C-alpha cells in the first residue's frame, strides 16, 4: 500500500535538469549524461560521448602494421594486451601465416590474466562508487601484483605493446610460471575476501538487485556482447562460439545470469575471474617450448647475425621495419573475446605496409548506447551503480 | 555545584572561540581573487545551468526532512536521560518508555504507509 | 630581540608566510581530472602500494571549489578543452597544475585533428610529467616539486624577488 | 561451399545483388542501395537465417584505394546469428552525389549510435534516423574527419560545449512531458 500516484501528479513539481557530467567521480572521466529528474527519479536522460575521441582510426591510416600496435594499447587501456592480441590475430589471418604454439599459449595466458585484472578494476571502481571503499584496496593491490609480472615481462605496467605481427616482443622470463601461480592464489584470496564482505551485505544487495534490468531481447537488439549480454541470460562467448587459439581443447564454462540487472552483471564478472584463473592454470601446465616468432620471412625479423652479416638479412630487416609488413590487398573482420565483450577489427589493406582502413568494433560503444534508455525510472544512486557495472572504458568507447 | 558550571562554561568557551578563530584566520589570511568566470555556478564546466533555486522542489524531500527531525529530536531527549539513568529511578524509565512507544507508533504508521519506499 | 632568549626553546617564532607555506605544502587537495590511461595510473597512485597520502595529498576532491592542485591525467581533446578551462578558472586562488603524461603535456602520439597539443595552450601549467603513462613514482616526484615550489614561492604577503627555479639542485 | 545465406539471398533478391565475394574466409555481398532495408529485414526475420544481431555498422571511403571502385563510399553491415552461429557481411555502395541511405534503427537498436558515428565521420545521412547528430566530434566541427581528403592535422577549436537541451526536449516531447 504505497502513496497514491495522483497525490504527486497534481503537485506539478518542475523537472530538475542535472549533468552527470564528464568530470564526475563515478563517470570514469569522460562520459556525460544529461538527466531530467523528478525528485530522485530519472525521467529521461541523454548521453554524450566523444570527450576522449583521439582519432585512432584516422591516425592509424598513416602507420605501418607494427606501429599500430601501440595505438591499440590505448583502446581498452585497462586490459591493453587483449587489444594487441585481437589486432595481430586479425592481421595474421589476412597474411595467412600460422604462429607457433608457444606464442599462442603465451598470448592466451596473458590475455586471461588481462581479463582478470580488467574485471578487478571494474569491480573495484564499482564498489567505490557504491561506497564500499575497503574492497578497492583488496582488489586493486592484486592488480599491482600482476603489474610487477607485466613489468618484468614487457617493461611497462599498463600500455605494454607486447605482441608483434607474427609473434611476440620477447620470450617469457624464467620464473614466470611461479610468479603467475603466486599471483593467481593471491587474486583468489582477494576475491573471497570481497565476496565475504558483499555477498550477504543487505545494502549491497538492495542497491544492485532489480536495478536497470536489461531483457534478453533488448540486450541482443542493442548489440550487447560479453559479460553484460551473458548477465541477461544469453550464452554467447566468442571463445566458445567460434574458438581460436585452442580454446576448445581446454574446459572452462561461461557464467550466465538470469535477470540482467546490476547484481547479475557484477557476479558474472566475479565468476568469470574464477574461470579465467582455471584457464590460466591449465594453459600453464601445457606450455610448450620452442620459438615464439613464426619463421615466415615476410613477417619476422631475421636474427641478429643474419641482419649484420649477409645482405639478404639486412635488406629483409630494413624492408620490414621501414616499409612495414606487406599485407596482401583484401579485407577481414576478425573478433576476439575481450574483457568487455566482442572486440572486432575490420581491416582493409591495399597491399602496402600501412593499413587502408582499420575499424574497431568496440564492445562498450554499443553497451553505452543503451545507457540512457535502461536508466529511465530509476534513482540517481541506481544509475551510478549501473554505469559502474557496464564497465565503460572511454578510450575504447570514443577511439 | 560551581565546578559543573565552570566545566560547562569552559566547554561553551572552547566551542565558541576555537571555530571563530579558525574562521577569522582563514578569512583574513587567505588571498582572494575574483574573476567573472569563477563566480559562475559550478556545473561540471558546462556553459548553461538549467532551473533556478527558486523552483519548486519535489514534496518527497520535505517528507524525508520531517521524518529525520522527528526521530533526531527523539534521540536528543534520550541523551540526558541515558546519562543519569541510575539516579532517576524506575519512574523516569517508565516515562521514557512511554515516550518511545508513542514515537514507535508513528514509525510503524510510516512503514505501513511506505513513505520511504516511494522516493 | 630578547624574546627568544627568554622563551629559549619552548616557543618557535616564525612569520605568517612560513606558516601558510607549511600548511599549504603539506595538505594539497588534488582535483583528479582523469580522462584516459593516466587516470588508471592515478588510481594505482592512490592505492596502498604507492600511497599519495604520505604527502598529505590523499583527499581527492571532485569539485574545483575545494581543490588547490589540478592534476590533469590523460588526453585532453578539443571537446574537453572548454570544460578543463572552466574548471581551472573556478578553482580558488592558490592553485597549481600538474600536467601528467605525454598526452596532457604535448598531445602525445595523437598528433591529429581532435587532440589538444598540450594543455599549456589552455591553462598555465606548473609541473609536467613525462611518460605514457608515467610511473606512480614520477607523479610523487611531481608532487614533491610542487611542494618545493610552494616553499619557494612568495605568498601574497611577500614581494616577489627573483624567478623561482625548481628541481635542479 | 555455397553457404545457406547466399543461397537464400540469391533466391529472393537475385536482381538487387551486385557482387558476391569471399575474402579471408568471410563471405560478403554487395547489394543495391534501394533494396537494403528489405534485405536486412529478410535476413533478420527468416527462420533459417535468423540474423538477430547487428554486430557492427561502419563505412569506408575508397577515394585513394588502388582498386578503382564504382562509387566512393561503402557502408558495411556485419550481421551475426546467435542461434545459428553464422555471420554475413552486407555492403552498400554510396556515390558522392547522393549521400544518404535508409536507416536500420527500425530493425536493430545497435544501429542508432553506429549510424550517428558514420554520419559524423563520413557525412552519410540515414533517412528515418530518430536523432542524427554528431557523436564523436564536437558540435562546432565542420567537415567529416575520416574522409580521405580531410587533412589529419586540421584542428578545429570548440568554444562552448553543447548543452544537449534540444536533444533532451525532443525526447521529452516524445514522452509527452513537454508541449
CATH topology assigned to domain D4-175: Beta Polymerase; domain 2 (3.30.460)
Confidence (pLDDT) at B48: 81
Confidence (pLDDT) at C113: 92
Instruction: Please give, rounded to a whole number of angstroms, the shortest distance from the CA of B111 to a CA of chain D.
Output: 31
- Residues A117 and B107: their CA atoms lie apart, in Å, by 46
How far, CA to CA in Å, does A40 sit from each of A101, A382, A386, D176? 55, 10, 15, 20
What SS3 class is residue C84? helix
Burial, A131: exposed, middle or buried (Cβ in 10 Å; 0-12, 13-18, 19+)? exposed
Provide, for chain B, the percentages of residues in helix, strand and coil under a 3-state DSSP scheme, each rounded to the nearest 5: 70, 0, 30
Phi, psi of D96 (to 5 degrees): -60, -30
- Tell if the CB–CB gap between A1 and B113 is shorter than 8 Å: yes
pLDDT over 70 (residue A11): no
Confidence (pLDDT) at A5: 58
- Tell if the CB–CB gap between D175 and A44 is shorter than 8 Å: yes
The verdict on residue C64 lying in a domain is yes
Q: pLDDT digits over A150-209, tens only?
A: 999 999 999 999 999 989 999 999 999 999 999 999 999 999 999 999 999 999 998 999
The boundaries of the domain holding residue B8 are 2-118
The boundaries of the domain holding residue C75 are 2-152
Residues of B in contact with D163 (CB under 8 A): 46-48
Segments of chain B scoring below 50 in pLDDT = none
At D1, the pLDDT band (50, 70, 90 cuts) reads: very low
**Parallel, antiparallel, or unpaired: how do β-strands A32-38 and A41-48 relate?**
antiparallel
Segment D145-173 shows an average pLDDT of 91
Instruction: From A159, A226, A151, select the one nearest A183 (Cα to Cα).
Output: A151
Confidence (pLDDT) at A13: 67
Q: Which DSSP state fits C134? A: P
> Do residues C136 and C41 lie in contact, with contact meaning Cβ atoms separated by under 8 Å?
yes
- Greater confidence, B33 or A3? B33
Number of C-beta neighbours around residue D116 at 10 A: 21
pLDDT over 50 (residue A1): no
Confidence (pLDDT) at B113: 83
pLDDT over 90 (residue D141): yes
Confidence (pLDDT) at A252: 92
pTM listed for this prediction: 0.90
- Biggest CA–CA distance in chain D, Å, is 58
The verdict on residue C160 lying in a domain is no
Q: To the nearest whole number, what is the mean pLDDT of chain A?
A: 90
> CB distance from A259 to chain C under 8 Å?
no
- Greater confidence, A107 or C9? A107
Confidence (pLDDT) at D144: 93
Q: pLDDT digits over A351-384, tens only?
A: 899 999 999 999 999 999 999 999 998 989 999 9
The verdict on residue C167 lying in a domain is no
Q: Determine the Cα angle at A390 with ends B45 and A357, to 5°.
A: 80
Q: What CATH number is attached to the domain comprising C13?
A: 3.40.50.12280
The total domain count for chain C is: 1
Phi, psi of A6 (to 5 degrees): -60, -25
- Residues A309 and A316: their CA atoms lie apart, in Å, by 12
User: Which chains lie within 8 Å of chain B at 3 or more CB pairs, if any?
Assistant: A, C, D
- Tell if the CB–CB gap between D161 and B50 is shorter than 8 Å: no
The total domain count for chain B is: 1
**Parallel, antiparallel, or unpaired: how do β-strands A32-38 and A342-349 relate?**
unpaired
- Helix ranges (H only) for A172-331 are 176-198, 202-208, 216-222, 227-231, 238-241, 262-285, 304-309, 311-323
Taking the CA atoms of chain C, what radius of gyration do you get in angstroms? Answer: 18
What is the residue extent of each domain of chain D? 4-175
Of B33, B44, B47, the CB nearest to C93: B33
State the cell numbers at A166. 607474427
Q: Determine the Cα angle at A120 with ends A215 and C83, to 5°.
A: 80
Of A19, A39, A379, the CB nearest to B61: A39
Confidence (pLDDT) at C160: 65
What SS3 class is residue C102? helix
Percent over 70 (pLDDT), chain C:
93
**Parallel, antiparallel, or unpaired: how do β-strands C96-100 and C127-129 relate?**
parallel
How far, CA to CA in Å, does A7 sit from each of A10, A30, B65, B66, D168? 7, 39, 19, 18, 27
Confidence (pLDDT) at B49: 81
pLDDT over 50 (residue D40): yes
Confidence (pLDDT) at A2: 47
Q: pLDDT digits over D65-111, tens only?
A: 988 888 899 999 999 999 988 899 999 999 888 999 999 999 999 99
Domains annotated on chain A, with CATH: 98-317+371-398 (1.10.645.10)
Q: Which DSSP state fits C115? A: B
> CB distance from A281 to chain B under 8 Å?
no
Q: Which residues are bridge partners to A185 per DSSP? A: none
The verdict on residue C158 lying in a domain is no
Question: Which ipTM value was assigned to this complex?
Answer: 0.89
- Tell if the CB–CB gap between D145 and C113 is shorter than 8 Å: yes
- Tell if the CB–CB gap between C112 and D138 is shorter than 8 Å: no
Q: What CATH number is attached to the domain comprising B86?
A: 1.20.58.1610
Q: pLDDT digits over A57-115, tens only?
A: 999 999 999 999 999 999 999 999 999 999 999 999 999 999 999 999 999 999 999 99
Instruction: From A283, A275, A274, A115, select the one nearest A188 (Cα to Cα).
Output: A274
Tell the residue number behind the cell numbers 533556478, with chain if given.
B52
Segment A250-264 shows an average pLDDT of 93
Amino acid at each position: 500500500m504505497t502513496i497514491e500516484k495522483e497525490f504527486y501528479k497534481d503537485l506539478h513539481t518542475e523537472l530538475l535538469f542535472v549533468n552527470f557530467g564528464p568530470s564526475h567521480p563515478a563517470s570514469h572521466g569522460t562520459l556525460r549524461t544529461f538527466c531530467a529528474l523528478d525528485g530522485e527519479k530519472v525521467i529521461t536522460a541523454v548521453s554524450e560521448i566523444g570527450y576522449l575521441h583521439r582519432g585512432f582510426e584516422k591516425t592509424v591510416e598513416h602507420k605501418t602494421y607494427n606501429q599500430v600496435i601501440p595505438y591499440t594499447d590505448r583502446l581498452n587501456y585497462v586490459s591493453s594486451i587483449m587489444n594487441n592480441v585481437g589486432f595481430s590475430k586479425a592481421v595474421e589471418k589476412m597474411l595467412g601465416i600460422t604462429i607457433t604454439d608457444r606464442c599462442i599459449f603465451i598470448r592466451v595466458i596473458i590475455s586471461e590474466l588481462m581479463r582478470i585484472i580488467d574485471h578487478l578494476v571494474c569491480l573495484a571502481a564499482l564498489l567505490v562508487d557504491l561506497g564500499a571503499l575497503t574492497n578497492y584496496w583488496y582488489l586493486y593491490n592484486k592488480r599491482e601484483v600482476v603489474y610487477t609480472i607485466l613489468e618484468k615481462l614487457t617493461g611497462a605496467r599498463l600500455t605494454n605493446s607486447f605482441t608483434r605481427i607474427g609473434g611476440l616482443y620477447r620470450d617469457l622470463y624464467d620464473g614466470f610460471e611461479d610468479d603467475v601461480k603466486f599471483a593467481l592464489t593471491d587474486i583468489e584470496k582477494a576475491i573471497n575476501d570481497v565476496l565475504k564482505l558483499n555477498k550477504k551485505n543487505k545494502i549491497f544487495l538492495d542497491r544492485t538487485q532489480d536495478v536497470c534490468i536489461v531483457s534478453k531481447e533488448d540486450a541482443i537488439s542493442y548489440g550487447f556482447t560479453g559479460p553484460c549480454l551473458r548477465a541477461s541470460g544469453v550464452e554467447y562467448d566468442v571463445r566458445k562460439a567460434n574458438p581460436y587459439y585452442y580454446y576448445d581443447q581446454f574446459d572452462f564454462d561461461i557464467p550466465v545470469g538470469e535477470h540482467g540487472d546490476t547484481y547479475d552483471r557484477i557476479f558474472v564478472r566475479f565468476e568469470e575471474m574464477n574461470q579465467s584463473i582455471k584457464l590460466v592454470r591449465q594453459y600453464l601446465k601445457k606450455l610448450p617450448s620452442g620459438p615464439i616468432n613464426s619463421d615466415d620471412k615476410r613477417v619476422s625479423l631475421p636474427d641478429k647475425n643474419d641482419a649484420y652479416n649477409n645482405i639478404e638479412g639486412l635488406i629483409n630487416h630494413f624492408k620490414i621495419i621501414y616499409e612495414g609488413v606487406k599485407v596482401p590487398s583484401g579485407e577481414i573482420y576478425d573478433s576476439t573475446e575481450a574483457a568487455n565483450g566482442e572486440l572486432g577489427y575490420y581491416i582493409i589493406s591495399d597491399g602496402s605496409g600501412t593499413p587502408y582502413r582499420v575499424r574497431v568494433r568496440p564492445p562498450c560503444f554499443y553497451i553505452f548506447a543503451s545507457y540512457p534508455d535502461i536508466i529511465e525510472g530509476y534513482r540517481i544512486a541506481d544509475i551510478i551503480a549501473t554505469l559502474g557495472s557496464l564497465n565503460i572504458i572511454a578510450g575504447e568507447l570514443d577511439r | 555545584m560551581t565546578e559543573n558550571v565552570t566545566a560547562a562554561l569552559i566547554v561553551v568557551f572552547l566551542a565558541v572561540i576555537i571555530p571563530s578563530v579558525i574562521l577569522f584566520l582563514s578569512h583574513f589570511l587567505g588571498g582572494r581573487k575574483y574573476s567573472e568566470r569563477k563566480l559562475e555556478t559550478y556545473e561540471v564546466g558546462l556553459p548553461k545551468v538549467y532551473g533556478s533555486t527558486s523552483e519548486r522542489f519535489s514534496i518527497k524531500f520535505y517528507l524525508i526532512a520531517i521524518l529525520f527531525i522527528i526521530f533526531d529530536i527523539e534521540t536528543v531527549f534520550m541523551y540526558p536521560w541515558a546519562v543519569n539513568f541510575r539516579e532517576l529511578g524506575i519512574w523516569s524509565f517508565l516515562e521514557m518508555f512511554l515516550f518511545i512507544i508513542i514515537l514507535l507508533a508513528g514509525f510503524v504508521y510510516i512503514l505501513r504507509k511506505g513513505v520511504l519506499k516511494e522516493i | 630581540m630578547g624574546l627568544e632568549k627568554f622563551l629559549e626553546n619552548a616557543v618557535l617564532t616564525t612569520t605568517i608566510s612560513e606558516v601558510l607555506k607549511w600548511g599549504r605544502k603539506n595538505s594539497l587537495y588534488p582535483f583528479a581530472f582523469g580522462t584516459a590511461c593516466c587516470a588508471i595510473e592515478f588510481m594505482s597512485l592512490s592505492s596502498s602500494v604507492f600511497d599519495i597520502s604520505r604527502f598529505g595529498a590523499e583527499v581527492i576532491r571532485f569539485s574545483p571549489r575545494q581543490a588547490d592542485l589540478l592534476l590533469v591525467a590523460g588526453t585532453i581533446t578539443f571537446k574537453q578543452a572548454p570544460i578543463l578551462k572552466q574548471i581551472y578558472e573556478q578553482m580558488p586562488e592558490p592553485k597549481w597544475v600538474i600536467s601528467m603524461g605525454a598526452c596532457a603535456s604535448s598531445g602525445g602520439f595523437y598528433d591529429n585533428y581532435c587532440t589538444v597539443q598540450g594543455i599549456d595552450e589552455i591553462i598555465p601549467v606548473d609541473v609536467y610529467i613525462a611518460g605514457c603513462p608515467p610511473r606512480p613514482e614520477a607523479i610523487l616526484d611531481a608532487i614533491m616539486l610542487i611542494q618545493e615550489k610552494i616553499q619557494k614561492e612568495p605568498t601574497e604577503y611577500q614581494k616577489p624577488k627573483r624567478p623561482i627555479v625548481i628541481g635542479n639542485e | 561451399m555455397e553457404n545457406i545465406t547466399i543461397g537464400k539471398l540469391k533466391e529472393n533478391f537475385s536482381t538487387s545483388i551486385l557482387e558476391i565475394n569471399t575474402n579471408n574466409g568471410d563471405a560478403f555481398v554487395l547489394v543495391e542501395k534501394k533494396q537494403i532495408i528489405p534485405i536486412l529485414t529478410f535476413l533478420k526475420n527468416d527462420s533459417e537465417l535468423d540474423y538477430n544481431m547487428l554486430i557492427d555498422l561502419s563505412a569506408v571511403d575508397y577515394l585513394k584505394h588502388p582498386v578503382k571502385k564504382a562509387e566512393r563510399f561503402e557502408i558495411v553491415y556485419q550481421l551475426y546469428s546467435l542461434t545459428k552461429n553464422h555471420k554475413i557481411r552486407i555492403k552498400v555502395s554510396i556515390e558522392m552525389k547522393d549521400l544518404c541511405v535508409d536507416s536500420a534503427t527500425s530493425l536493430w537498436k545497435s544501429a542508432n549510435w553506429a549510424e550517428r558515428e558514420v554520419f559524423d565521420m563520413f557525412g552519410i545521412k540515414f533517412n528515418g534516423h530518430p536523432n542524427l547528430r554528431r557523436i564523436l566530434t564536437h558540435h562546432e566541427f565542420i567537415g567529416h574527419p575520416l574522409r580521405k581528403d580531410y587533412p589529419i592535422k586540421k584542428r578545429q577549436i570548440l568554444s562552448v560545449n553543447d548543452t544537449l537541451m534540444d536533444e533532451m526536449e525532443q525526447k521529452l516531447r516524445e514522452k509527452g512531458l513537454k508541449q
